[in-house]
């Protein structure tokens, strides 16, 4: 059974209360529950972790080595500014899928490119909480193909 780590970056702990017209009304725990239900259905195991700290995200990516088979990552605002996180993704040694709640291509220009995505398998953005579920399917599929 593949073990998948779901990493939520800065400000995702505020989901549901944070600018709900932009990010929707689901809380992070709503999303985590939906991910767990889908994981059960797909026959994979998920563990979720959120942090507003770039360093904690990097630590967690490193710590996952050997204990996880793939990572679902929403880097939040770090997406556009963190080479260190990109390097951690490249260092993770397992496939990483990048997800975003919003369609960053339809927002401010400084959100139009991702420094992290170049080290990921792929990107899913714009489907609200569904981006996570699609990302989990994408990652599970990727792991299945790679067997």
- Mark residues 40-79: x for contact with a second copy by CB under 8 A, - for none: -----------xxxxxx-xx--x--x----------xxxx
Token duo for residue 30: 């709503």
| Secondary structure in 3-state letters for the chain | CCEEEEEECCCHHHCCCCCHHHHCCCCHHHHHHHHHHHHHHHCCEEEEEECCCHHHHHHHHHHCCCCCCEEEEECHHHHHCCHHHHHHHHHCCCCEEEEECCCHHHCCHHHCCCCCHHHCCEEEECCCCHHHHHHHHHHHHHHHHHC
Residue 23 among the catalytic residues: yes
| 11 marked among binding-site residues | no
Is 1 or 22 the residue whose CB approaches a second copy more closely? Answer: 22
| 69 marked among binding-site residues | no
Any contact of residue 7 with a second copy (CB under 8 A)?
A: no
Supply the minimum distance, in Å, between the C-beta of residue 135 and a second copy.
8
Any contact of residue 105 with a second copy (CB under 8 A)?
A: yes
- Mark residues 116-135: x for contact with a second copy by CB under 8 A, - for none: -xxxxxxxxxxxx-xx-xx-
d(CA 40, CA 46) in angstroms, rounded, equals: 9
Any contact of residue 87 with a second copy (CB under 8 A)?
A: yes
Q: Choose which of 29, 40, 43, 93 interacts with a second copy (CB under 8 A).
A: 93
Residue 62 among the catalytic residues: no
Tell me which stretch binds a second copy (CB under 8 A): 5-13, 29-37, 40-48: 5-13
Look at residues 111, 115, 89 and name the one whose alpha carbon lies nearest to residue 102.
111
**Active-site annotation, residues:** 23, 100
Which positions make up the binding site for substrate? 74, 80, 87, 101-102, 111
């Amino acid at each position: 059974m593949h073990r998948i780590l779901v990493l939520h970056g800065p400000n995702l702990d505020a989901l549901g209360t944070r600018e709900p017209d932009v990010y929707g009304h689901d809380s992070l725990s709503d999303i985590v529950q939906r991910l767990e239900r889908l994981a059960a259905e797909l026959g994979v195991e998920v563990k979720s972790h959120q942090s507003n700290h770039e360093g904690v995200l990097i630590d967690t990516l490193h710590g996952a080595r050997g204990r996880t088979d793939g990572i679902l990552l929403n880097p939040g605002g770090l997406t556009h500014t963190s080479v260190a996180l990109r390097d951690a993704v490249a260092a993770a040694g397992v496939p990483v899928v990048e997800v975003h709640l919003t369609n960053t291509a339809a927002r401010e220009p400084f959100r139009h490119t991702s420094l992290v995505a170049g080290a990921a398998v792929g990107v899913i953005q714009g489907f609200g909480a569904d981006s996570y579920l699609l990302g989990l399917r994408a990652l599970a599929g990727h792991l299945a193909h790679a067997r």
